[in-house]
Amino acid sequence: MLKIKSLSCALIIGLLLASSYSWAATTDKNKLPQIGTSGFSVLSIDKERQIGQAMMQQVRGSGTIVNDPVLIEYINDLGNTLVKNAQDVNYRFEFFIVNNQELNAFAFFGGHIGIHSGLITTADTESELASVIAHEISHVTQRHLARRIEAQSRNQPLTMAGIVSGILLTMINPAVGMAALSTSMAASQQMGINYTRGNEQEADRVGITLLANSGFDPLGAPNFFGKMLERYRYSSKPPAILLTHPLPESRVSEARIRAQNFPLRSVPPKLEFELAKARIKARYEGDKKYNIEHFTHAINKNRYAFLAAAQYGLALSYFEDKSYDKAYTLLMTLLKSDANNLFYIDALSDVLIELRKFEQAEKMLADINLLMPNNQVAALNYANVLLEMGKLDKSAQVLQDFLLMHPDSFIAYDLLTTVYRKQDKKALMHVSKAEVMALVGAYPQAIDELQTAMNYADDLPIVRKRIKGRILQLQDQQDKLRRLN
């Protein structure tokens, strides 16, 4: 697993609303806009993209995202399996995981969808997890955010400045964010619940259809609803997802009726889903000693759908406990049965670095990078191993090639900054560091880094021209962001 430093930035953005918020009740539903026709009078698709990008920068800067290439790859593969069967897709969707054990998921402008790690580990099947993602995709494709803003603009001026700072905080950490929002949202509570209820019903209907059309079990949605409802029926503190997605029993029954309208489908368990759950538990939840006991017990009692997933979780737990030889033995056994499995390759890369088996790691990753060019797990781990070996020029080349195809890769720019620092290429180091800053929306700091880079680029005329051009681009992006407020 590649570990990078987290950056924080206070980026205040206007006109932003989260799809998942609910407030006091109302019964007047006559003003619900027509599907596919609403929202455009207030926000164009292009403006939604701009706002979504700005929000995503703030999320990156919060330091709560799981910057884990394997899990990023998994959740985007799953999400895009659903997106390719969705209607009215106006954006390139981006899926990400928030390191939070609360059960929650959320969507915002521009096709950005966040899933809390706790929701993934709580789902029993991939269809249950996919049902939540399909629901959030439906919030985006039905333009529920724009529709809510349009409705609010009819009833009162759009004075959102007082609530913006709490919006993303509420999505990412509901317990803290709700307190931040409570004093600011009173004026729009009545309107909010009306749209929440209507939007939730619509997202359920569209999401279950999307789930079925994408090859998943449509019963995954009501099964997950029912599980949550039963688990927290008598709880004084419901999970975040029930705070942000109200779940009356009628909604569960309606979802089950909708799901039963589709043909029965038996979807077999999926190894990648179980591996993702094991990875989150071993690396982001619990104590390493406890996790070793947990996975050992699971293996002995055959508690996992796949033995390989429990063994993988145990190997990761051994790694966290610095028992590298035990982790190596388990991972080599797993890799023999599934040579191109990126979950295993990523974990083994870390182990081989700790055991200083650099040549073995380099060969493994060179082969997989050739087989899967521009795959983030293969490329970033390969570059990291080359960096550890001191093969800095080759590491930089791998990262530069990767960034041509993935210009928004936070991890790649962070690694490249380290490579340039070790090469004593100060101009390029500051340029790369500026891109890290820009990805979290810290434009003034990014421009400062580029201006510093100019001081070290006197004998690099091409680099100086590129720096000047990039400064102008970032200043333009900064101006666009100001105009959104």
Confirm or deny that 274 is annotated as ligand binding. no
> Which residues are CB-neighbours of 478 under 8 A, at least 6 positions away?
443, 444, 447
Edge to edge, what strands does the sheet with 112-116 contain?
94-98, 112-116, 105-108
Of 292, 287, 373, 291, the closest CA to residue 326 belongs to: 292
The total of other beta-carbon atoms located within 10 Å of residue 337's CB is: 9
| Strand 94-98, strand 112-116: pairing | parallel
Q: How far is CA 419 from the centre of its chain?
A: 26
DSSP codes of every residue in 246-279:
---HHHHHHHHHHHHTSPP--PPP-HHHHHHHHH
| Interatomic CA distance for residues 356 and 101, integer angstroms | 34
Give the whole-angstrom CA distance, residue 349 versus residue 361: 6
33, two tokens: 């806009």
What residues contact 422, with CB distance under 8 A and at least 6 apart? 387, 392
d(CA 382, CA 368): 9
Q: Is 238 helix (H, G, I), strand (E, B) or coil?
A: coil
What residue type is assigned to position 453 of the chain?
Answer: A
Spatial CB neighbours of 285, under 8 Å, sequence gap ≥ 6: 101, 117, 121, 291
Ligand-binding annotation for 200, yes or no, is: yes
HSE toward the beta carbon, residue 383, CA cutoff 13 A: 29
112 is in an annotated binding site: no
Task: State the catalytic residue, choosing from 128, 150, 204, 350.
Answer: 204
- Give yes or no: 136 in active site: yes
Degrees to nearest 5, angle at CA 261 with 193 and 225: 45
Opening angle at CA 322, ends 316 and 328, nearest 5? 55
CA distance 307 to 300: 10
Among candidates 82, 83, 79, which has minimal Cα distance to 96?
79
Catalytic residue among 94, 126, 128, 136: 136
Among this protein's residues, is 48 annotated catalytic? Answer: no
- How far apart are alpha carbons 149 and 398 in whole angstroms? 44
Annotated binding site for Zn(2+): 135, 139, 200
Q: Cite the active site residues.
A: 136, 204
Annotated binding site: 135, 139, 200
